[in-house]
Amino acid sequence: MLKGIKVIDFTQYLPGPHTTLRLADMGAEIIKIESPTGDPARFPAEEDGGDKYLFRAQNRNKESITLNLKEVDDQQVAKDLILSADVVIEGFRPGVTNRLGISYEEIVKIKPDIVYCSLTGYGQVSPLSHLGSHDINYMALSGVLSQFKDDEKRPVQPTITMADLVGAIATSESIVAALLKKERTGIGSYIDLAIADVMVTLMTNHILIESATGEQHGMPRLNGAHVCYTLYETRDGRFISLAALELKFWENFCLAVGKESWLGSSFTLPSKENPVYREMVSLFLSRDFEEWIHLSQTVDCCITPVLEAGELAEYPYYKARKLIQKHEGLNHVATRYCQNQSENIHYKPSPKHDKHNNSLLYELKSSSK
């Protein structure tokens, strides 16, 4: 899909590297530029002596070169690399690229059709541009975190860095769109991508609904306010998600569990005062997790298990789609499905720090002759 596209990647940690991982899985060549000390996501080393698992997960299929961008000579090397590239992505705070000699204004002079993406938390120009932040800050500020609350109405901190990852998806989307524009018009692009902006777009429904009704938690049918759309505990302490919103799915569920008497109760409240809800809780508690998994795969009623990370690789759906692949003893997640089932995502392990210095610099020197 992106074979022949070269990306110069000045990012570190998670959002930028996940962006370029997605581009790499689409076939792009990624050259990762690291400082002399390396991407901080490499450290501390794991027990096997290798880079941190976070780094390994996000940096497969990339090449690494070390440059000290505070040095004029290395700034020139960076520019030479960019001359042969299609895309630049950087994750510095606003203004830093000016000091390092690789700002968009500098690069567009030598590469007018470049696709240049600046990935930050709060954009290049905003009241918060000068501030540092992390995933939970973007989730909190966007209102997304307020949608994850416990029974005491306290926000729950997720164990997945949703803002970083969703921000990366939006960034790769913007880069691919800019590449399409470049192919059609020959004109490059500058992309000012702010993770806080991306996260607030996830609140599209909630913000409009609140402005119309005052409801803070989106569509009532989707916020656990009905027995047909909520989570249930199983006999062995696991959880099942039921989302039988449409009548046909609710009917399929009720008939499958022998409860025709529930047919008219799909949108009743999941409260202890509701006899149907009490019966449903008891029903789910009467069967083990595996029994409900069997039903989820045989009855079309929008029911799925709440799986743990260690169960995903062996779950039939992901095995069939080849989305989790084992390489060098570790499970890696493909960022896209390959329609040709004989095709696996190309895999090269994450590069050692400055592994490709010699080969890339030699290539540069050869091309300049």
State the catalytic residues.
Answer: 164
Closest residue by Cα to residue 357 from 23, 78, 29: 78
Is 111 strand, coil or helix?
Answer: coil
From the centroid of its chain, how far is CA 170?
Answer: 9
Q: Determine the Cα–Cα distance for residues 356 and 9; give it in Å rounded to an integer.
A: 14
Question: What DSSP string describes 255-304?
Answer: HHTT-GGGTT-TTS--STT-HHHHHHHHHHHTS-HHHHHHHHHHS-SSEE
Quote the tokens at residue 353.
């720090």
Alpha helices, H only, the chain: 15-25, 53-58, 72-83, 96-100, 104-110, 135-142, 162-185, 195-201, 204-213, 247-256, 275-285, 289-298, 316-321, 357-368
Quote the tokens at residue 338.
């390959």
Q: Determine the Cα–Cα distance for residues 85 and 91; give it in Å rounded to an integer.
A: 18
Q: Which long-range contacts (CB under 8 A, 24 or more apart) does 177-186 make?
A: 178/87, 178/115, 178/117, 179/2, 179/5, 179/86, 179/87, 179/115, 182/86, 182/113, 182/115, 186/113
